[in-house]
Structure 1
Amino acid sequence: MNSLAHPQLRFTPTVADPDGPRELVILGSTGSIGTQAIDVVLRNPERFTVVALSAAGGRVELLAEQAVALGVHTVAVADPAAEGPLREALAAKAQGAPLPRVLVGPDAATELAATECHSVLNGITGSIGLAPTLAALRAGRVLVLANKESLIVGGPLVKAVAKPGQIVPVDSEHAALFQALAGGTRAEVRKLVVTASGGPFRNRTREQLAGVTPSDALAHPTWAMGPVVTINSATLVNKGLEVIEAHLLYDVPFDRIEVVVHPQSVVHSMVEFLDGSTLAQASPPDMRMPIALGLGWPDRVPDAAPGCDWTKAATWEFFPLDNEAFPAVELAREVGTLGGTAPAVFNAANEECVDAFLKGALPFTGIVDTVAKVVAEHGAPQSGTSLTVEDVLHAESWARARARELAAG
């Protein structure tokens, strides 16, 4: 297997880098992944130091607070309107200390991704993370990847520039696979089993899902995430994206990647080997563990997150996925098999449909139904070695426009 990630490399002892703390760049620092990554860094100053941060610009006070607390040399913000408030917030919080350089604009995070450092954590949400992903890889940085969309929509582009082992995944499912795959050789792998919490509606039929409201869908029973990811978890689009990501990361065929519903979210994924044995990675649902694994790889970070409490009785349940009620995973398999620009169309159409649902313009079941229509209309995708970033962006633009038209009725 020619995989992007090489988990069969054995973990090394947990010792601090003899050359000093590992220098990091964090993209999307004010989001869920970014804030938890900063928590890991602040609790392990001997291991990590952050040299630069980026954010969209909606939370400038938090961004300034992070920048001053970490002592970064550069801060990037995507929204030009946020520049003034950010500079004011930095000056107020720095209290006379040297201020970081400020980069502004839609390409600021991409510029930051090539900064001199050891690792770049891409915690940006959405396909806008593709350009920073490519920039980090081309600059030779270790890419700690939480932005699954950039790999999914730009799979051939990412695979063309990534060196073996240069990407370390942060999704809890892929961090679990990453660790479980270390238990055997690639030739011994029979299949990957990706677990899904099932979201807040796992026991409902398709008919019962028709009246789901945005507030219902945002009430995830296990994880605290942003609105888009939370809705994607409720529709299981997120799980479909993770199936495509697993295929791209580990070069396992789609028919050997299975999804199983596990409501407790303690077993994050599993690998089944040819002899019938299955290795599962288990830990309480806390994203600081996979984040710390990504930042520290190949070392583990002690006490990154709480472990399982074996002094208390617990029950772990596993159920087959109801593909009729939640067709997103099967649709994602079809899209992943098509390849080329098809995953970009799938992802972009979904983002528009989620937005329409949150605004009350589309029913819950209409999200995946509309995405399926857009994918079908897209037809044969642009693919092959000629695929470019422009092809991906053009396909996304078309998919967004068509999804908005369909959602508007």
Structure 2
Amino acid sequence: MNQDFDIIIVGGGAAGFFTAINIVEKNPKLKVAILERGADVLQKVRISGGGRCNVTHACFEPNELVKYYPRGEKELRGPFHQFCSGDTIEWFEKHGVELKIEDDGRMFPVSNSSQSIIDCFLEATQKLGIKVLTGQSVQSIFKKENNWKIETQNENYIAEKLILATGSNPKIWEMLQTYGHAIVSPVPSLFTFNIKDPRIKELPGVAAQVTVKVKDTKLESTGPLLITHWGMSGPAVLKLSAWGARILHDKNYQFTIFVNWLNDVDASDAEKKLKELKQEHAKKAVSKKSPFDFPNRLWESLVLAAGIEIETKWADLSKAQLQNLSNQLTNGTFQVNGKSTFKEEFVTAGGIDLKEINFKTMESKLHENLYFAGEIVNIDAITGGFNFQNAWTSGFILANAI
């Protein structure tokens, strides 16, 4: 027996639900079903943002917002002019979920619980008569005349339009390849750097505002860096990992970074500053107190790394020691050896080649009535609510087009 629908959406995550709700709100006559392979829907929403769900980011200018997407910057400009973060806030408010802005620009439900978003989606699908079918793992997709036939392990479905919102699901990507779609192979994005180095070994929890560069590449990023038990994390490192997802994958996650702990001060200016400090604090021990805007523990560690003993006074520093210290401060070289996943955020760079999608409708350029929403396409963002914003925007545009 075939189950007939006007529209089938494969994937019971953020993009799938948002798309379904928007379609039926605009056109209540349509018969729509969401197929989810797991026993539960919206699992990623549940755990995102430490269980609070980082819904979007308080960046309301489309041309600024696109800059947070290492892949998709050019393609998302048009879509964001149609549905941006401000529209997201309004949409959720209309559906009974108020959002708030935190100091770093991330936006969460006022309730501080991702359950608010999940309840909002489940209530809306129920009210609109959208069928949510779990335990439906898609085995094959066929194109039949004007319809799509979707086979799961225990059911057959037929629909006029097929929407894929399956995120980074390799099985679905493989099926699309048989339909001629090119898939950009997935590599991890948003990861932290594994570094074993005596300079940072005793400093987990220490943070500083830095500039980080990757040797022999153009990769560079500025922002807070956090020292952890296994190496380095924080926005500066995560940004590098996102923009460098392909390059660092090709290097097999073995590479060298340069850290400027003084952010934008170069070595010669740092040396000048150190010479002034030598005059001012002649009688004081160098390692005692950080003269820069980062913690004393980090300062002490860099002083020791420059070959300056703990009791050495400023007046006794040699020229070579001053140079060593300015070098440690502005151009610290660290060996990265592997990566770790950032919290529970598995973000991948990769997916359907962006050239094969019409971004005015999110429809496949190769097959009529085949649409894509969310992370199934080769778009990804840095952390902070941007990946969800891509899900909402693509879902909204798709619903409008249909």
TM-score by length of 1: 0.22
Name the structure with the higher helix share.
Answer: 1
TM-score by length of 2: 0.22
Q: Which has the higher contact order (CA 8 A, sep 6+)?
A: 2
Q: Which protein has the larger Cα radius of gyration, Structure 1 or Structure 2? A: 2
Name the structure with the higher strand share.
Answer: 2
